[in-house]
Chain A
Amino acid sequence: MINLIQILIEGALVGLVYGLVAISFVVIYRASKIINLAQGEVVVVGAFLLWTFTAGAAAAGYPIPLALGLLLTFAGCVAFGWTVERTIFRPLIGQSAFTIFMAGVALLILLRGLTQLIWGAQSRSMPVILPEGALQLGPFLLNTRLLIGAVFTVVLTIALHAFFTRSRLGLRLAAVAEDHTTAHSLGVSVRQAIAVAWILGTMVATAAAVVLLSGSILSLEVAVIGFKALPVALLGGLESIRGAPLAGLIIGIFEALASAYLDPLTNGAASGLLPYAAMIAVLLIRPYGLFGWRRIERL
Chain B
Amino acid sequence: MKLKTLLAAGVAALALAAPSLAKDYTITASADYSGPFADVMPDAMAGLNAIVDYWNKEVGEGLGTHVNLKIYDMRYDSAVIARTWPSILTSDQPIMHLGFGSPDLVTLMGRLPQDKVPMLLGTAMVGLVWKPDGWHFSIRPTYSHEFAGLFSHLEAGKDGPLKIAAISTQNQAGFVDQVNGVKALATQDPDHYTVTSTQWAETAPVSLTAQVRAALADQPDVLLIGGTTAQVIAAAKAMDELGQRVPIVMSTHNGLAEVSKGIPLADLEGSYSAFSFAAPEKAELPIRDIFEANKTEGKWGTITAQASAQAILALRVLEKAIADIGADNVNGQAMYDALLAHEYTEAELLGALPTLDYDNSAPFPIGNLKATAEVVKDGKITTVQSEWFDVPQINKW
> Per-residue 0/1 for A236-262: is the Cβ within 8 Å of any B Cβ (1 yes, 0 no)?
000000000000000000001001100
Q: From residue 269 to 291 of chain A, which have CB atoms closer than 8 A to chain B?
A: 269, 271-272
Q: How far apart sit A134 and B36, CA to CA, in the bound complex (Å)?
A: 32
Is B123's beta carbon under 8 Å from chain A? no
Contact flags (1/0) for B196-214 with A, using CB distance below 8 Å? 0111101110110111011
* Chain A nearest Cβ from B226, distance in angstroms: 15
Contact across chains for B214 and A260 when beta carbons are under 8 A apart:
yes
Known contacts A13-B207, A146-B207, A217-B229: does B262 contact A259 (CB below 8 Å)? no
Shortest beta-carbon distance from B262 to chain A in Å: 3
A225 at interface by CB-CB < 8 Å? yes
Interface-lining segment among B7-15, B50-58, B230-238, B370-378: B230-238
CB of A39, distance to nearest CB on chain B (Å): 15
Asked if B261 lies at the interface with its beta carbon under 8 angstroms from chain A, I say: yes
Our pick among A121, A143, A212 for the contact of B241 (Cβ within 8 Å) is: A143
In the complex, A63 has a CB within 8 A of chain B: no
Q: Is the CB of A256 within 8 A of B210?
A: yes
Residue of B197, B203, B240 with most chain A CB atoms under a 10 A cut-off: B240
A96 adjacent to chain B (CB < 8 Å):
no
When the two chains form their complex, are residues B203 and A221 in contact, meaning their CB atoms are under 8 A apart?
yes
Question: Which of B209, B213, B241, B262 has a CB less than 8 Å from the CB of A123?
Answer: B262
Binary CB contact string for chain A from 109 to 134 against chain B (1 if under 8 A, 0 otherwise) = 00000001000111111100000111
CA A212 – CA B206 in complex, angstroms? 6
For A212, list chain B residues within 8 Å (CB): 206
With most chain B CB atoms within 10 A of its CB, the pick from A14, A123, A132, A146 is A123
Could you say which residues of chain A place their CB within 8 Å of the CB of B202?
224
Interface positions of B from 160 to 206, Cβ below 8 Å from A: 168-171, 176, 197-200, 202-204, 206
Asked whether, in the complex, the Cβ of B170 is within 8 Å of the Cβ of A122, the reply is: no
A264 and B211 alpha carbons, distance in the complex (Å): 12
Q: Which of A7, A17, A141, A259 is B206 in contact with, Cβ under 8 Å?
A: A17
On whether the beta carbons of A222 and B241 are closer than 8 Å, the reply is: no
Would you call B261 and A125 a contact (CB within 8 A)? yes
B263 at the interface (CB under 8 A from A): yes
When chains A and B are docked, how far (Å) is the Cα of A14 from the Cα of B38?
A: 29
Measured in the bound complex, the distance between the Cα atoms of B170 and A272 in whole Å is 8
Query: CB distance B230 to A216 under 8 Å?
Result: yes
Min distance, Cβ A111 to any Cβ of chain B, angstroms: 15
Please tell me if the beta carbons of A143 and B38 are within 8 angstroms of each other in the complex.
no
Is B24 at the interface (CB under 8 A from chain A)? no
The reply on B39 being an interface residue by CB < 8 A is yes
Chain B: minimal CB distance from A92 (Å): 29
Cβ contact of B261, chosen from A116, A124, A132, A263, cutoff 8 A:
A124
Range for the number of chain A residues in contact with chain B: 35 or more
- In the complex, A134→B242 CA distance in Å? 7
Known: A123-B261, A125-B263. A216 touches B211 (CB 8 A): no
Q: Is A181 an interface residue (CB 8 A)?
A: no
Q: Complex formed: what's the CA distance from A17 to B197 in Å?
A: 27
If A143-B241, A225-B204, A256-B210 touch, whether A122 touches B39 (CB-CB below 8 Å) is yes
In the complex, which residues of chain B have a beta carbon less than 8 angstroms from the beta carbon of A143? 207, 209, 241
Q: Does A10 contact B (CB under 8 A)?
A: yes
Q: Binary interface profile of A, 204-233, with partner B (CB < 8 Å = 1, else 0)?
A: 000000001001110101101100000000
- Are A14 and B207 CB-contacts (below 8 A) given A143-B241, A271-B200? yes
Tell me whether B258 is interfacial, beta carbon within 8 Å: yes
Contact between A132 and B240 (Cβ–Cβ < 8 Å)?
Answer: yes
| B39–A120 touching, CB < 8 Å | yes
- Is A65 an interface residue, CB under 8 A from the partner? no
Contact of B200 with A121 in the complex, beta carbons under 8 Å:
no
CA distance A222 to B234 in the complex (A): 13
Give how many B residues have a beta carbon under 8 Å from the other chain's beta carbons.
38
Q: How far is the CA of A269 from the CA of B169 in the complex (A)?
A: 10
Of the candidates A122, A224, A256, A272, which one forms a contact with B204 in the assembled complex, judged by CB atoms under 8 Å apart?
A224
Chain A residue contacts of B230, Cβ below 8 A: 216-217, 219, 221
Q: Which residues of A contact B168 (CB under 8 A)?
A: 268
The answer, yes or no, to whether A165 is at the interface (CB within 8 Å) is no
Given the interface pairs A143-B241, A267-B170, the reply to whether A10 lies near B38 with Cβ below 8 Å is no
- Minimum CB–CB distance for B228 against chain A, Å: 8
> Chain B contacts of A225 at CB under 8 A?
204, 206
- What A residues does B228 contact at CB under 8 A? 221
Expressed in whole angstroms, the Cα–Cα distance for A133 and B207 within the complex equals 12
Smallest CB gap from B171: residue in A: A272
Chain A proximity of B245: nearest CB distance (Å): 14
The proximity string for B residues 246-265 relative to A, scoring 1 for CB distances below 8 Å and 0 otherwise, is: 00000000000011011100
Please pick, from A116, A123, A133, A260, the residue contacting B258 in the complex, using a CB distance under 8 A: A123
A99 interface hit (Cβ, 8 Å): no
Q: Which residue in chain A gives the minimum CB-CB distance to B259?
A: A217
- Once bound together, how far apart are the Cα atoms of A268 and B34, in whole Å? 30
Q: Is residue A11 within 8 Å, beta carbon to beta carbon, of the partner chain?
A: yes
**Does A95 sit within 8 A of B, measured CB to CB?**
no
**Which of the residues B200, B237, B263 comes within 8 Å of A259, measured between beta carbons?**
B200
A6, CB-defined interface residue at 8 Å: yes
Q: For the complex formed, measure the closest distance between the CB of B301 and the CB atoms of chain A, giving whole angstroms.
A: 13
Chain A: minimal CB distance from B257 (Å):
11
Chain A residues with Cβ below 8 Å from B170 are 263, 267-269, 271-272
Docked-complex contact A7 and B240, CB < 8 angstroms: no
* Given contacts A6-B213, A219-B230, A268-B170, A121 and B38 within 8 Å (CB-CB): yes
User: Known interface pairs A125-B261, A221-B204, A224-B204. Does A259 touch B38 (Cβ–Cβ under 8 Å)?
Assistant: no
Question: In the complex, what residues of B have CB within 8 A of residue A216's CB?
Answer: 230, 233-234, 237, 262-263
User: Which residues of chain A are within 8 angstroms of B39 by Cβ–Cβ distance?
Assistant: 120-123, 219
A67 to B241: give the CA distance in the assembly, Å. 26
Residues in B lying within 8 Å of A, measured CB to CB: 34, 36, 38-39, 168-171, 176, 197-200, 202-204, 206-207, 209-211, 213-214, 228-230, 233-234, 237, 240-243, 258-259, 261-263
4 A-B pairs with least C-beta separation: A268-B170, A217-B262, A268-B200, A121-B38
| Sampled A-B contacts (14; CB under 8 Å) | A116-B34, A122-B261, A123-B262, A125-B262, A134-B209, A146-B207, A212-B206, A219-B229, A221-B36, A224-B204, A225-B206, A260-B214, A268-B176, A268-B198
